[in-house]
């Protein structure tokens, strides 16, 4: 799986990337977009958005792109059932196991297909993310990136959703909390869709701050009942510890930077985590088929810089990044490269943006962020008066 030049060689200011090629075997089918439907009148069907090609390019750009000297490669592994049960229910896990045993292609939820090989890929994604977190907890490195598929942040304790079977990031958060080394974990999700599964799993906890910046898409059915609206702020002792930042379409680089600085940074500072988890989706980019948020490489680079500073301020530099969406087969890889440049404090861009300038106007986004900030100041207990 790894060539001789990809073995673990600790470096200063490098990212430790956890990867296993077995995750490529998940076949999310072909059809009309993510439906798996062949209407019979199209000569050319498209691959499901969550296909292996997108991740192949992410791997190759880190192996052979300009950032390669800053990357250490480490192997992933399969998760075991007992690890899955720290976040998911046994009924749900048993349902997935039985679906896999059938050997048939099944649509587990809308747009989320399980085929032969999918369950093993999902176990690898979960286990690889757990290995990345354990690597940080064991002080083998401070910056780790779980390059995984299928994605996970829509998967709730009891059901699949949005191409996700197992919630990789949430499992890593549970590992950190259960280790005794971390009492509070901050999760910042920049995927274009609401990280509803992670939010649902920690909705009644004050040990995890979940912050999701996403397109204002609302609920999309029974598998995704959460709306991602600003008033979904947690319940019980978790009241105020789920912060949603629904952003208008076309928010762009400047709008995202403003949102992160005005909403995310102050909230994380008030919360005071001892571990930071960045849930990454390049589907917020300007040319993604699954989003409308218009981030470019510069926007991802700037977010990487801000999150790195956040980790240095609060968690002694400990930062786990977990891959989620990002469906433009080439541009997603470029945006990943740019984000890691920001995280690693590389002073100048090593790659130019292949799709050039995308015009933006952040005025609408700024007003939306100001409105969200007013809401948080009034209704989120630990942010009152900010």
Domain count, the chain: 2
- By the 10 Å C-beta count (0-12 exposed, 13-18 middle, 19+ buried), 283 is classed as buried
**Does residue 280 sit in the same domain as residue 374?**
no
Q: Are residues 226 and 274 in the same domain?
A: yes
- Burial of 192: CB neighbours in 10 Å, binned 0-12, 13-18, 19+: buried
Same domain for 329 and 370?
Answer: no
| 261 and 146 co-located in one domain | yes
Among residues 154, 224, 314, 376, which one is catalytic?
154
**Is 6 part of any domain?**
no
Tell me: do 344 and 378 sit in the same domain.
Answer: no
Same domain, 67 and 190: yes
| CA distances for 10 relative to 14, 71, 74, 183, 336, angstroms | 8, 9, 11, 28, 21
Same domain, 332 and 367: no
Residues 301, 164: one domain? yes
Domain with 173 in it: what CATH number?
Answer: 3.40.800.20
351 inside domain: yes
Global pTM reads 0.95
Strand-pair category, 46-47 with 71-75: unpaired
Q: Which domain holds residue 33?
A: 15-355
Rounded CA separation 137/175 (Å): 9
The tokens of 279 are what? 């849930």
Positive or negative torsion for Cα 259, 213, 326, 176: positive
The answer to whether 340 and 298 have CB atoms below 8 angstroms apart is: no
Confirm whether 7 is domain-assigned. Answer: no
| C-beta atoms surrounding 15 within 10 Å | 20
Q: Are residues 292 and 375 in the same domain?
A: no
Say yes or no: 268 and 376 in one domain: no
Residues 371 and 227 in one domain: no
pLDDT per residue rounded down to tens, the chain (386 residues): 333 333 334 444 899 999 999 999 999 899 999 999 999 999 999 999 999 999 999 999 999 999 999 999 999 999 999 999 999 999 999 999 999 999 999 999 999 999 999 999 999 999 999 999 999 999 999 999 999 999 999 999 999 999 999 999 999 999 999 999 999 999 999 999 999 999 999 999 999 999 999 999 988 888 888 899 999 999 999 999 999 999 999 999 999 999 999 999 999 999 999 999 999 999 999 989 999 999 999 999 999 999 999 999 999 999 999 999 999 999 999 999 999 999 999 999 999 999 866 778 899 999 999 999 999 999 999 998 77
- 223 and 287 in a single domain? The answer is yes
User: Catalytic residue at 350?
Assistant: no
Radius of gyration of the chain (CA): 19
């Amino acid at each position: 799986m790894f060539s001789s030049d990809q073995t673990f060689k600790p470096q200063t200011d490098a990212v430790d990337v956890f990867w296993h090629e077995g995750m490529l075997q998940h076949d999310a089918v072909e059809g009309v977009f993510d439906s798996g439907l062949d209407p019979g009148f199209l000569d050319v069907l498209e691959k499901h958005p969550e296909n292996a090609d997108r991740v192949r390019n992410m791997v190759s750009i880190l192996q052979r792109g300009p950032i390669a000297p800053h990357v250490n490669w480490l192997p992933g592994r399969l998760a075991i059932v007992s690890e899955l049960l720290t976040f998911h229910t046994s009924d749900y896990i048993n349902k997935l196991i039985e679906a896999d045993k059938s050997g048939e292609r099944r649509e587990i939820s809308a747009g989320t297909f399980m085929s032969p090989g999918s369950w093993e890929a999902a176990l690898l994604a979960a286990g690889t993310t757990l290995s990345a977190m354990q690597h940080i907890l064991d002080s083998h490195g401070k910056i780790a990136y779980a390059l995984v598929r299928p994605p996970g942040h829509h998967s709730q304790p009891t059901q699949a959703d949005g191409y996700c079977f197992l919630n990789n990031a949430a499992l890593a958060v549970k590992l950190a909390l259960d280790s005794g080394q971390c009492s509070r974990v901050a999760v910042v999700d920049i995927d274009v869709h609401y990280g509803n599964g992670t939010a649902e799993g920690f909705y009644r906890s004050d040990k995890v701050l979940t912050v999701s910046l996403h397109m204002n898409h609302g609920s999309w059915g029974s598998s995704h009942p959460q709306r991602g609206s600003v008033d979904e702020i947690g319940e019980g002792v978790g009241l105020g510890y789920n912060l949603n930042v629904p952003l208008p379409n076309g928010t762009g680089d400047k709008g995202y930077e403003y949102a992160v600085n005005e909403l995310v940074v102050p909230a994380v500072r008030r919360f005071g985590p001892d571990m930071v988890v960045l849930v990454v989706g390049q589907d917020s980019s300007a040319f993604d088929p699954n989003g409308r948020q218009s981030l470019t490489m510069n926007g991802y680079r700037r977010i990487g810089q801000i999150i790195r500073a956040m980790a240095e301020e609060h968690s002694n530099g400990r930062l786990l990044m977990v891959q989620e969406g990002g469906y433009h087969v080439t541009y997603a890889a470029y945006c990943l490269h740019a984000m890691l440049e920001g995280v690693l404090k590389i002073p100048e861009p090593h790659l130019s943006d292949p799709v050039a300038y995308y015009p933006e106007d952040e005025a609408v986004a700024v007003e939306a962020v100001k409105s969200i900030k007013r809401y948080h100041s009034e209704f989120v207990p630990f942010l009152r008066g900010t």
